[in-house]
Structure 1
Amino acid sequence: MNLSGIKHLVFDLGGVIIDLDTQATFKAFEKISGIPMVEWVKGVHESQLFLDYEQGLLGDAEFRDGLRNLCGVGLADDVLDKAWNAMLGAIPMHRINKVIELGKTYRTFVLSNTNGIHERAFNQILLDSSGNPTLDHFFHKVYFSHVMKMRKPETEIYQTVLEENNLNPREVLFLDDKPENLRGAEKLKIQTFLVPSPDSWLELF
């Protein structure tokens, strides 16, 4: 794609910067609860619990209680957290190094639908791989849905990023692995790129 006129890059996190395997979490919950994985997949898509947690409408303790209700078993916090975090993979340094390089030419941002338990987990992954405990070290600014109390693909979350940083949407490229999130950004005239696999965006630059 033509990057002329692009001055700002907004990255999703899961499936773009960090490797993501949601099936690993479904399998983990199947193992600890005895409930078939297909039921967990269905529950994630139908239960408001997960959307509310991503949007910061529930705290960590409330979310864990919701998971216990779904499991039907009184599991300890650390057991639930381990299963919930099973989807989070590596943050390879070649992606971080590319972000650092791009930061010399573009203003770089993260805009991610995430949650408190995952944030602590990927911060630890980042610390182990890079020696730095937060993404703020590598990006100009980081936005998380659970902190903002809004989530993609709602247009208000993109509008907030644009307004807070005085960005012209036509000068912004948003990279995400979910088509519905790109469509939300496109409503505001933001340029978009679908990331089919975590390293595919590297080919743009």
Structure 2
Amino acid sequence: MIKNIIFDFGDVFINLDKQIIFREMEKFGGELTLTPELLQLNNQYEVGKITSDEFLSGLAEVYPQASKEQIKNIWNGMLLDFPEERLQFIEKISQEGNYRTFLLSNTNALHIEHVEKIMGTEKYHRFQNSFEKFYLSHEINLRKPNAEIYQFVLDQNNLVAEETFFIDDTKENTDAATELGIHCWNMQVGKETILELNSKL
């Protein structure tokens, strides 16, 4: 019996344009692929090992034709809209009280600051308040798909893996959680939405 639900954030609640950085940075001499250098920089930033300024400086070295402000705008440009029906959906689940709800997101300080700006403080706080705990990778210094992050959430909240359901749009992340015994839904962006959750439980 499912008692707990862990939700991803990007493309589950807020829509993303993950390819924007490659499209836009190509104008500044960037490549259309995620190089090992960029991957390492992003991963360090997502677990809070480097500051926002250090991250932007690192990108500025990779893309010297772009200013830090241009890089920041492109980086935040991947964050799109947050449909109201998705917010109302998670609020309803929270209010009904049939499940303990948690958010678990690979994210960073620049994005969270921008998300609050996009949504507005009131709407963002409504979203936060729909979860018992709000876990952001850069705050807990762990990121998906490492097994430690899932175990951390289970241990911190005395959750039983077999009683827990996890939703994420990245198969690598749901595969890792499945190995711990967590039930998962690898949501297909563009084909499925979080509003279909009840049929997946």
Name the residue aligned to 2:70.
Answer: 79
Look up the match of 1:17.
Answer: 13
1:82 counterpart letter in structure 2? N
Match of 1:29 in 2: 25
Q: Distance in 1 between matches of 2:7 and 2:44?
A: 22
- TM-score normalized with structure 1 length: 0.87
Work out the CA distance in 2 between the residues paired with 1:197 and 1:152: 18
Instruction: From 109, 116, 127, give the equivalent of 1:116.
Output: 109
Q: What RMSD in Å do the two structures reach over aligned CA positions?
A: 1.8
Question: Identity over the aligned pairs, expressed in percent?
Answer: 36
Task: Tell me which stretches of 4 or more aligned residues in structure 1 moved more than 3 Å.
Answer: 44-47
What is aligned with 1:200?
Answer: 193
Q: Retained in 2: the 8 A contact 1:25–1:83?
A: yes
Query: What is the distance in 1 between the residues matched to 2:37 and 2:183?
Result: 28
Contact in 2 for aligned 1:25/1:85 (Cα 8 Å): no
Q: What code does the residue aligned with 1:144 have?
A: L
Query: Equivalents in 1 of 2:36, 2:59: separation in Å?
Result: 11
Unaligned runs of 5+ in 1: none
What SS class does the counterpart of residue 132 from structure 1 fall into? helix
Equivalent of 2:52 in 46, 60, 68: 60
The CA deviation string for residues 20-43 of structure 1, in whole angstroms up to 9 with x for no partner, is 111122222223x2x15xx14233
Once residues 179 and 200 of structure 1 are traced to their aligned partners in structure 2, the CA distance between those partners, rounded to angstroms, is: 15
Residue of structure 2 in register with 1:49 after alignment: 41
8 Å Cα contact 2:86/2:194 also seen in 1: no
Give the structure 2 partner of residue 92 of structure 1: 83
20-29 vs 85-94, which deviates more?
Answer: 20-29
1:108 Cα offset (Å):
1.1
**Are 2:165 and 2:182, in contact at CA under 8 Å, matched by a contact in 1?**
yes
Q: Normalising to structure 2: TM-score of the pair?
A: 0.89
- Counterpart in the other structure of 2:120: 127
Contact 2:169 2:187 in 1 (8 A): yes
Q: Which residue of 2 aligns with 1:174?
A: 166
Once the two structures are superposed, what CA deviation does each residue of 1:77-114 show, in whole Å capped at 9, x if it has no partner?
x3221110111111111001110111122111110111
One-letter amino acid matched to 1:66: G
Unaligned runs of 5+ in 2: none
Aligned residues between the structures: 194
